[in-house]
Amino acid sequence: MDELQHECGIAAVYHVKADRVSELVPFDDMRSTSRLMPRMLLDMQNRGQLAAGITTWDPDRSQLIDTHKDVGAVAEVFRMNHPEQFRRLMEEYAGRAGIGHVRYATCGSDDRSYAQPFERHHIARSKWFSFVFNGQLANYQDLRQDILETTDFHLARETDTEILNHLISRKLSDSPGISGIEILSELAAELDGAWNLAFLNANGDMFVSRDPKGIRPLCYAVQGPLFAAASESVALTHLGFRDDAIRNVPPGHAVLIDDRNGVRLEQYAEAEDPAHCFFEWIYFANAASSFDNAGVYLSRKRLGEKLAAQEQVPIDRDTIVVPVPDTAKAAADSMAFQLGVPSLEGLLRNRYIGRTFIEGSGRAEKVRMKYTALPEVLEDKRVLLVDDSIVRATTLKELLKLLRRVGRAREIHVRIACPPIIAPCFYGIDMSTVEELFAAAWIQGPKLSSEDEQRMAEAIGADSLRYLPVDALSDCVGLPQNHLCRACVTGCYPTPAGEKQYQVARNRRGNGGRTYDVQ
């Protein structure tokens, strides 16, 4: 896997009634409910390691809502390895409600000003708010141009999060007393793409919402007086919520929370055919999560079964299956079981090398630092190497060299638990140009042929290469084909701006830069 990155994950928590005790909050003071936020963000660290942050609300402090955020992993941002510093942070930002975010950037810079939440100060409590955002606006450039040309607003950052900040601020200023549902309804008429939100203002009004296509996952749970929501269901499970209490926010719906009315689910946009990103199940989501009635681990298990069913390489006592750590392991184990051969970790990943430490190194050096090939497992073996996907193929090429040179594998047959990625993503995955996609340059006809796969195998240094068929995705995920976004493997986009961006990407081939940066 070529270090493909997802934009972010969001979380929210609210102790609705101050006079009721929640068995899920292990603190005496209900103002410390916000201390649950770092734990939830840790469970979503897989969705972004660039920055993290929280905003909390406490009606009894002068700073009604307050934000702490910084560049770094969750443990770094909240000083979790320094107990006294962590304790002081949690005391300073104690509150009955909070929203949180982990970030990886698909657009914008890496500095602290891009970290979320985005807080907007105002002397009116209803207009003093903070929010977090998961996704990407496919019509970002159009929205940005409209703001700069038709208003007195100024944009200081190259990010769609600031676009949302301006749009929400404008609605609060233009329509005093506007409700959360009304804000979302108006946004739905303007936005195209993936845009899950968690919003909190100085009155203690909160909402969490999912875009009308449901492209990114969002789960919530209510147990007693405690409400929580997160991009990963495992974050709610680890808080102690019962499985039957965890729900999916339906596309085009929002959960609204406050002390006056409690928790309620409301629809803000007309129902559309959902377009859930299939990559969530194949790669991005925590294997322990489940959303939209489809479990991540079992989906990956079925990927391996499909790969085994199409295997044509001779199987003998020297054949082994080896996963590329870590997300391909479930598929590899399942494939090996079906074929009746061992699934062995012939390739180990160093999980303690951080992103900053390896920055600036060449690709080969990065691979050597992050992966170790085990010759005692690989030597003289016919290796079926299972990976979750191929995007740019740069890391995979170096891995294959490592397996041959250090591992001394006799044959390496690459098996990919995903169809060929031939088109960019404009909904929150860091791949926005056609030219960076390995498979797009090799597939000659409307369908992938065995000749195409063999040419690609030779290009990456493998003895053979087999992809998962596009038609297998629905069965593996466990959702109808028309409920999945498969744009990156079909070139068919679920929204108009996504389709427009794809045409721009194809026309700009060879010009460099990300499609949504310059048009």
Q: Residue 32 in contact with residue 61, Cβ under 8 Å?
A: no
CA atoms within 13 A on the CB side of 302: 17
pLDDT attached to residue 352: 73
Q: Is residue 126 part of a domain?
A: yes
Q: How far apart are CA 418 and CA 331, in angstroms?
A: 11
Q: Which of 215, 240, 272 is the last residue of a domain?
A: 272
Cα angle for residues 511, 6, 421 (degrees, 5° grid): 55
Q: Residue 321 in contact with residue 414, Cβ under 8 Å?
A: no
**pTM score, whole prediction:** 0.92
Cα angle for residues 14, 15, 17 (degrees, 5° grid): 135
361 shares its domain with 475: yes
227 shares its domain with 346: no
Q: How far apart are CA 347 and CA 367, in angstroms?
A: 11
Q: Is 107 annotated as catalytic? A: no
Q: Is residue 153 part of a domain?
A: no
302 shares its domain with 230: no
Q: Is residue 121 part of a domain?
A: yes
340 shares its domain with 472: yes
Joined together, the tokens standing for residue 6 give 């997802």
Phi, psi of 248 (to 5 degrees): -95, 140
Q: Is residue 178 part of a domain?
A: no
Split into its structural domains, the chain has a count of 2
CATH number at residue 475: 3.40.50.2020
436-to-46, 359, 426, 467 alpha-carbon distances in Å:
23, 20, 14, 18
Q: How far apart are CA 474 and CA 50, in angstroms?
A: 32
Q: Residue 35 in contact with residue 42, Cβ under 8 Å?
A: no
Q: Which of 8, 418, 425, 476 is catalytic?
A: 8
Q: What is the pLDDT tens value at each position of the chain, 519 positions in all?
A: 444 444 699 999 999 976 677 778 776 677 788 999 999 999 999 998 899 999 999 999 999 999 999 999 999 999 999 999 999 999 999 999 999 999 975 444 567 888 999 999 999 999 999 999 999 999 999 999 999 987 777 888 888 999 999 999 999 999 999 999 999 999 999 999 999 999 999 999 999 999 999 999 999 999 999 999 999 999 999 999 999 999 999 999 999 999 999 999 999 999 889 999 999 999 989 999 999 999 999 999 999 999 999 999 999 999 999 999 988 999 999 999 999 999 999 999 987 765 444 444 577 778 888 899 999 999 999 999 999 999 989 999 999 999 999 999 999 999 999 999 999 999 998 887 888 899 999 987 678 999 999 999 999 999 999 999 999 999 999 999 999 999 999 999 999 999 999 999 887 655 444 444 433
175-to-4, 126, 228, 254 alpha-carbon distances in Å:
41, 11, 29, 20
Q: How far apart are CA 196 and CA 182, in angstroms?
A: 16
233 shares its domain with 379: no
**Which of 418, 386, 436 is CA-nearest to residue 490?**
418
- Bin 89: left if φ > 0, else alpha if -120 < ψ < 50, else beta: alpha
Q: Which of 257, 272, 287 is the last residue of a domain?
A: 272
Q: Is residue 513 part of a domain?
A: no
250 shares its domain with 127: yes
Joined together, the tokens standing for residue 502 give 């794809």
**461: which residues sit within 8 A by CB, 6+ positions away?**
397, 400, 401, 404, 412
pLDDT attached to residue 32: 82
Residue 394 one-letter amino acid: T
347 shares its domain with 457: yes
236 shares its domain with 357: no
Q: Is residue 169 part of a domain?
A: no
Q: What 3-state class would DSSP assign to 375?
A: helix
Phi, psi of 406 (to 5 degrees): -90, -45
203 shares its domain with 328: no
355 shares its domain with 222: no
246 shares its domain with 394: no
Joined together, the tokens standing for residue 169 give 């601020």
275-to-354, 381, 479 alpha-carbon distances in Å:
33, 41, 10
CATH number at residue 17: 3.60.20.10
333 shares its domain with 233: no
Exposed, middle or buried: residue 270 (CB in 10 Å: 0-12, 13-18, 19+)?
exposed
| Structural domain boundaries enclosing 429 | 295-507
Joined together, the tokens standing for residue 210 give 């999912």
Phi, psi of 14 (to 5 degrees): -155, 125
